[in-house]
Amino acid sequence: MLSSSTRLLRLLSLLQTRAHWMGPDLAERLEVHPRTLRRDIDRLRQLGYPVQASSGVAGGYAFRAGQALPPLLLDDEEALAVSIALRTATAGAVGGIEEPALRALVKLEQAMPARLRKRVDALRAAILPLTHTGPVVEASVLATLALACRDQLRTEFQYQDSQGRSAQRSVEPQGVVHTGQRWYLVAWDRVRNDWRTFRIDRIVGDPQVGAHFAPRASPDGGDLKGYVSRSISAPHHAEQARVVLHAPYAVMSRRIPPSAGVVSPLDQGQRCQLECAANDSLVYWLMALDVEFEVLVPAALKERLRVAGERALRCAL
């Protein structure tokens, strides 16, 4: 039989693992009588934990949001993950959360037992973050969009395209995706009547949240990350490049992100083909891969490679 304080902690931990617990199931997990469970629920409420009870056939208990954030229980792995995430957030691509992340990190690591602090220190020494040079998004904008996605609320915002032109957009947000470099919003564009991806760093000002909307079937069967990768890698130019890479598909598919292009296997995976936009930077990007390759199309890319190669030879003499 667990002690009273240990049982309360165990009860609190269980309540946070599910949206709803049937009373008998919860009592059985704790190995206590339902009357004891009800007394423990009352004690948690006195301590400020917002536990709601419901009666009837499907009655039970649920941990809900209250007026203030009560203490949260984290196991060792969760605490370790939160510590690393907070440390990354102090210098990440989300603006406006650096100082709050640092304050939360100090509180968390002060309360850590020695065994966890040693693991955090080891990871801290091993992880050497590069200085972030990409676009930064505001934490408040991310929070607003995430809330709109969760609660299915129509959203309007001023959006600036790649040419610097601004327009008011009205959307039904579906999800927020991070590709490793940028944040994107996947949403149904109510004017264009189609799914769209929006770079969140191009949203000007604060998004305005409105009325609820009826949910739609997500694009690509709910694979929002895959949808964003394919959307941003689709060619926006008149030309599309096809390049044969003389390297195994298993190797190049790991090195080339979906946002850069589509890699498909050739010769039972011994070689592969890359399809991507034929922009000016592709010449230098192909050279940086450090593998033999053959450009199939377009001819203009072959010419740019020839000119770049001649320049490199002149510089090397």
Mean pLDDT of the chain: 84
Residues 17-31 have a mean pLDDT of 88
Per-residue pLDDT of 76-123, as tens digits, reads 888 888 888 887 776 666 777 766 776 777 778 777 888 888 887 787
User: Which of 147 and 202 is assigned the larger pLDDT?
Assistant: 202
Whether 237 has a pLDDT exceeding 50, the answer reads no
DSSP 65-118: --SS-------HHHHHHHHHHHHHHTTSSEET-HHHHHHHHHHHHHS--HHHHH
Say how far apart CA 36 and CA 54 lie, in whole Å. 17
Say which range, 123-132, 168-177, 242-251, 270-279, has the weakest mean pLDDT. Answer: 123-132
Check pLDDT > 50 for residue 243: yes
Res. 70 pLDDT band, cuts 50 70 90: low
**Res 249 pLDDT > 80:** yes
CB count, 10 Å around CB of 12? 19
Q: Which of 312 and 90 is assigned the larger pLDDT?
A: 312
Q: What is the arithmetic mean of pLDDT over 174-197?
A: 90
Under 8 Å between Cβ of 277 and 238? no
pLDDT of residue 203: 95
In sequence order, what E strands does the chain have?
Answer: 21-22, 51-54, 60-63, 94-95, 137-138, 153-160, 166-178, 183-189, 194-199, 203-212, 240-245, 262-266, 271-277, 293-297
Residue 211, pLDDT above cutoff 90: yes
Q: Residue 4: helix, strand or coil by DSSP? A: helix
**pLDDT tens-digit profile of 56-67?**
766 789 888 765
Mean pLDDT throughout 207-235? 85
Q: What's the mean pLDDT in 165-178?
A: 92
